[in-house]
Copies of this chain bind each other. A is one copy, B any other.
Amino acid sequence: MNRKLRMGMIGGGKDAFIGAVHRIAANMDGLIELKAGALSVNPEVAIESGKLIFLDPARTYTDYKTMLEKEAALPEGERLDFITIVTPNFAHFEPAMLALENGFNVVIEKPITFTLEEAKQLKAKVEQTGLSLLLTHTYTGYPMVKQARRMIADGALGKVRKIWVEYPQGWLSKPAEKESAGAAWRTDPKRSGKSGCMGDIGTHAANLAEYISGAKIDQMCADLNIVVEGRGLDDDGAVLLRFDTGATGVLMASQVAAGEENALKIRVYGEKGGLEWAQHEPNTLLVKWLDKPAEIYRAGGNYGGHLSSYAVHNTRTPGGHPEGYLEAFGNLYRNFAQTLQAKINGTTPSPESLDFPGVAEGVRGMAFIDNVVRSSQSTEKWTKFEI
């Protein structure tokens, strides 16, 4: 393929944090160009937002249905390759289904849908159409997260016994929903879904734990809290976990951990040693050994075979040139783009390119929300993870 992929965007108007992040991630590697957008449900905002990012006015839409319909009708040389959906949670499902039905691949923010049932329907549609879907569980895009997953899969730690994952944020320590639009919809059951904190960040933590360890949550015992009075959804919680492999664990997530930024961190312990990765310093993976000095693996490290091909593939710079959140996000887009390019070219994508979160992770994420809320409301100690 001798062209960039063409992207359309639903949501992500000016002032929307995550829309801008998606555009940076998509731009970064020069593989994708944003060609069309329905950036807001407010027509004025939609148009103004398009101008600000130099979108062609002819392809700046004021509603997503029109966009999908018109773009689907364009000739192959102009048609969009995929649609990115960055609306609030309640407005994911319909545009995603319509995009797939119109033959577009899809990128979608997590949580994938508003309900588990929708997620299952979306999964069926993806499978039926054969199209690709990228779910932006950003944190699995970091090279040292890839490295961790591969080391465990390769048995470096022996059998995994313990998984501790934590995700403290402080930004909802006060009733911020009165001032911030992002806080408002995230704490509103009508727009966010069954859970606040667990839906917004607990799902990231659960996804990361399963991705790195290769184990699946099988039982849980959850305690969800509304700490700030009057809030509509949980802003804090902790979950005891049992995995299908016999490992046990703890997941802690809070949006009222005052003074914390976005401190996602995971530790996994096996028979021979442990791994520690923290998002605040994402280029470092600490590998602790039972009977020898701990090692510091670094993204871009010049270690010969010590770094897995997955870590190397997802790194742009040599060691000591820190890459961050936007590059991790960019890795999702890059791998998705490489996969689409291979499909278009009729070639086989590399395993490294195919390693991005998709609709299966989306279904598990929605199930996590359902299960964690059910467990928290139950007087039973352990509840089975059900999909």
Contact = CB atoms under 8 A, between A and B. Distances in A.
Given A293-B306, A324-B327, A326-B317, A248 B236 contact: yes
A306 B292 contact: yes
A269 B2 CA distance: 48
A283 B300 CA distance: 19
Interface in A7-21: 17, 20-21
Nearest to A323: B324
A342 interface: no
Contact of A321 (B225, B291, B297, B325): B325
Interface in A293-335: 293-298, 300-304, 306, 316-327
Given A240-B240, A250-B250, A302-B171, A227 B161 contact: yes
A322 B320 contact: no
Contacts of A274: 170, 257-260
A270 interface: yes
Nearest to A378: B381
A309 to B, nearest CB: 17
A20 to B, nearest CB: 7
28 contacts: A2-B51, A24-B28, A30-B54, A161-B256, A162-B236, A162-B254, A164-B252, A168-B269, A238-B250, A250-B250, A256-B269, A257-B274, A258-B270, A258-B273, A259-B287, A260-B320, A280-B283, A281-B281, A281-B322, A287-B293, A292-B304, A293-B298, A294-B296, A294-B298, A295-B295, A317-B325, A322-B324, A326-B327
A240 B239 CA distance: 8
Interface residues of A, number: 92
A196 interface: no
A300 B164 CA distance: 26
Q: Quick one: copies of this chain in the complex?
A: 4
Interface centre among A51, A295, A324 (most CB of B within 10 A): A324
A273 B173 CA distance: 9
Contacts of A181: none
Contacts of A76: none
Interface string A150-189: 0000000100011010101111011000000000000000
B269 A291 contact: no
A92 to B, nearest CB: 22
Contact of A318 (B17, B27, B34, B174): B17
Contacts of A221: 221, 223, 240, 381
Given A21-B317, A221-B240, A323-B326, 8 more contacts: A28-B326, A238-B250, A259-B290, A262-B321, A287-B293, A291-B303, A294-B296, A378-B381
A378 B325 CA distance: 43
Given A221-B221, A323-B324, A24 B262 contact: no
Contacts of A323: 324-326
Nearest to A264: B320
Given A2-B54, A54-B4, A274-B258, A291 B302 contact: yes
A132 interface: no
A301 to B, nearest CB: 6
The listed residue with most B CB atoms (<10 A of its CB), out of A282, A300, A317, is A317
Contacts of A34: 30
